[in-house]
Structure 1
Amino acid sequence: MRLLVLASALTFAAASQHVSTASAQTPAASPAPPQTTRSAPPTRDPHSPGYVSAIQLPDGAVPSPTADGNFIIGATHEPASEMTAIDLTNGTVIEFTMSSADSRYYPGIARDKGTFGTSDPTDPAKLIITTSHPAPYMRKVAVYVPKAYVPGSEAPFIVGADGTDRMLFAALDALIAEHKLPVMIAISIGNGGGDAQGSERGLEYDTMSGRYAEFVENEVLPRVESEAHVKLTHDPDGRATMGGSSGGSCALIMAWYHPELYHRVLTYSGTYVNQQWPYDAKTPHGAWEFHEHLIPESRHMPIRLWMEVGDRDLFNPNVMHDGMHDWVDANERMAKLLGAKKYHYQFVFAVNAGHVDRAVKEQTLPEALEYVWLGYQAKGEK
């Protein structure tokens, strides 16, 4: 258990690429609807009626990496010891770029700057967007390879969203050297640009299908093996996904629709809300469907999940007014259902924390990685 002292809670909020929603703005189409302004998210009490019962940890402590269930941390968030190193000393990072022109899965879209969308007057859960159009992109991929990796051997790996994740690389650099994690490769994949409905990022991360996992499998991983000179395992128990905000919902989507590829998932402020676009009648409420229908009505999936939400996480009832845009409520619902279905999961409610809170991630990421990888054993090992 790591004890921590007071640190400023830094949030990515709207200025960060991890933000998974957009302020309602006047769309290009005429007539223009009234413009609305999103207010600051309210601070939620982790003991609110309807929320999951959770263990309140001493301030500055994090859960044990061996414990399932629900936990409350805060309100001080000092970096874990593994997150304090300035440079990577036990591994290297290889970077390359990928172009939309070379993708069979994502040729590229973008939403016009300064536009968003309007709610369908016949269904507030559907968003009408008229300003999304084809557009090219370039994305960067960064690959962390530990010095302990044996060339030619088949390695477990973790795939992360939203580009180069220096925190992930730092955590692995320390934890692998400490023998707290298996020797693994980390792959950070940049998104295709923009945010939320009508953007390339939104299309990739918020779509409820196996398409993004298939893109990673068939277009990204072969490039990783070629550029970084590594061999990646095909064992789903040796594959993990992670992300924050829409990148978090994407991480679970990858494992849910392709459990033969991924079994381990780690999410910060997961966007388990109604943000899918284009509309799909099979999953009309986007990632809200996870806790509304998919988890309660599906067989038990082979997924081990670590998830976090902040007490000041996003709350965006504007534009759609569908009751499905509260990030705290969505994550609480997820935890309740995961517990009811007897999943191996750990849910952390962070006090004094915003959306994909940097200080909380620095505090919890080492423990989260240990929890997600608990029990992993490479095929053939005894």
Structure 2
Amino acid sequence: MPFAPLPPDQDGVRYLHGPDSSRRAGVPEGSVVEHTWTDSAVFPGTTRRYWVHVPAPYDPRRPAALMVFQDGDGFLDPDDEMRAATVLDNLVDDGAVPVTISVFVEPGTAPAGSSRNAEYDAFDDRYARLLADEIIPEVRKRWAVTDDHDQWGIGGFSSGGSCAFTAAWLRPDLFGRVLGFSSSFPQVASGTSVPELVAGESRPPLRVFLQVGRRDLGWDEPRDNWFAENLRVAAALAEAGHDVRLVIGDGGHDANHAGVLLPDALRWLWRTPLGDRAAL
């Protein structure tokens, strides 16, 4: 590829998707089933949609791994940046990730509007309980999901990314693999400093893939700086002995770079069992 200098302000930078983000000849297409959940005890009065992606090689006699994504509609949209169903079909076909039931969950809506920020930015276990006690049991009524939580992961973009981290941090018995794109760590409620939290509290080893743009929100500000806070979280995780990878891109708070990275992020996330520290 010929050299092309970046613009000095790094605005408008775009990355090109690789072959794993497009349908490949000979790769069987998985199915996507839509559901609506209206009976939440954790977030009463909310309605939310979620989708379940089932890869073609799924065999109910062999319980599958599990991956949960926040802002599910955006991750599934084949014309947007993530194209997650296509990516998962390609990676499962390659053997790069296990056969995985993936659940794409939308934030709840109530008469007052979306509860996205109330759910995603909170620092408590309510969202993890929504998944563990309500959404995932509904999924397991129809599809066989492994009981081995080494094979459960969670991910998201922006507040969905920090929500994924919160769920795994508070419930490591559920999720040990975390994917956070442009995670909104500065926006986590209750004055929670995620780097200080990681440094001050012991947890079972997590595997965390983080991505952030050099011109993400507040990139040149002393506070509420998405770029700086993601660096701090990654450093705290590394110092605490967790398995962490941080990828820094150009551009701002958008999903382009994250979507291009999604195939390799999932490869890295699933590359070995969580207990295998020899590969770190």
Q: Same fold (TM over 0.5)?
A: yes
- C-alpha RMSD of matched pairs (Å): 2.9
Does residue 298 (structure 1) correspond to residue 197 (structure 2)? The answer is no
Tell me which residue corresponds to 2:33: 94
Q: Distance in 1 between matches of 2:64 and 2:85?
A: 16
Gaps of 5+ in 1: 7-41, 45-74, 109-136, 277-283, 378-382
Q: Distance in 1 between matches of 2:232 and 2:109?
A: 29
CA shift for structure 1 position 187: 0.5
Say which SS state the counterpart of residue 261 (structure 2) adopts.
helix
CA shift for structure 1 position 372: 0.7
Task: Give yes or no for contact 2:150–2:176 (8 Å, CA) kept in 1.
Answer: yes
Q: Distance in 2 between matches of 1:143 and 1:269?
A: 24
Q: Distance in 2 between matches of 1:254 and 1:179?
A: 27
CA shift for structure 1 position 362: 3.0
Say which SS state the counterpart of residue 263 (structure 2) adopts.
helix
AA of the residue aligned to 1:342? G
Task: Give yes or no for contact 1:5–1:78 (8 Å, CA) kept in 2.
Answer: no
Could you give the per-residue CA deviations for residues 305-348 of structure 1, whole angstroms, max 9, x where no partner exists?
0000011211299xxx9x54111111011122122223211100
Task: Give yes or no for contact 1:80–1:362 (8 Å, CA) kept in 2.
Answer: no
Q: Which has the higher contact order (CA 8 A, sep 6+)?
A: 1
Tell me which residue corresponds to 1:366: 263
Tell me which residue corresponds to 1:27: none
Mapping for residues 32-111 of structure 1, pairs under 5 Å: 77-85=15-23, 89-99=28-38, 102-108=39-45
Which moved further from structure 2: 235-244 or 340-349? 340-349
Say which SS state the counterpart of residue 72 (structure 2) adopts.
coil
Could you give the per-residue CA deviations for residues 65-116 of structure 1, whole angstroms, max 9, x where no partner exists?
xxxxxxxxxx6511021102289833110111112xx1110024xxxxxxxx
Tell me which residue corresponds to 2:224: 325
Mapping for residues 1-382 of structure 1, pairs under 5 Å: 77-85=15-23, 89-99=28-38, 102-108=39-45, 137-164=46-73, 165-166=75-76, 167-193=83-109, 200-226=115-141, 229-276=142-189, 284-286=190-192, 289-291=193-195, 293-315=196-218, 324-351=223-250, 353-358=251-256, 360-376=257-273
Q: Distance in 1 between matches of 2:136 and 2:235?
A: 34
Task: Give yes or no for contact 1:97–1:140 (8 Å, CA) kept in 2.
Answer: yes
Gaps of 5+ in 2: 77-82, 275-280
Could you give the per-residue CA deviations for residues 130-182 of structure 1, whole angstroms, max 9, x where no partner exists?
xxxxxxx4211111101111124321110000123222211111010011111
Q: Distance in 1 between matches of 2:53 and 2:150?
A: 20
Question: Aligned in 2, Cα 1:356/1:152: closer, same or farther, shift over 3 Å?
Answer: farther
AA of the residue aligned to 1:340? E
Say which SS state the counterpart of residue 243 (structure 1) adopts.
strand
Percent sequence identity is 30
CA shift for structure 1 position 285: 1.1
AA of the residue aligned to 1:250? C
CA shift for structure 1 position 209: 1.4
Q: Which has the higher helix share?
A: 2
Q: Distance in 2 between matches of 1:199 and 1:77?
A: 31
Question: Aligned in 2, Cα 1:5/1:239: closer, same or farther, shift over 3 Å?
Answer: farther
CA shift for structure 1 position 193: 4.1
Say which SS state the counterpart of residue 134 (structure 2) adopts.
helix
AA of the residue aligned to 2:93? A
Question: Aligned in 2, Cα 1:309/1:201: closer, same or farther, shift over 3 Å?
Answer: same
Q: Distance in 2 between matches of 1:4 and 1:243?
A: 33
Q: Distance in 2 between matches of 1:4 and 1:147?
A: 39
Task: Give yes or no for contact 1:78–1:362 (8 Å, CA) kept in 2.
Answer: no
Question: Aligned in 2, Cα 1:329/1:222: closer, same or farther, shift over 3 Å?
Answer: same
Question: Aligned in 2, Cα 1:199/1:362: closer, same or farther, shift over 3 Å?
Answer: closer
Taking structure 1 as the reference length, the TM-score comes to 0.63
Matched pairs, number = 261
- Higher radius of gyration, 1 or 2: 1
Tell me which residue corresponds to 2:79: none
Task: Give yes or no for contact 1:144–1:186 (8 Å, CA) kept in 2.
Answer: yes
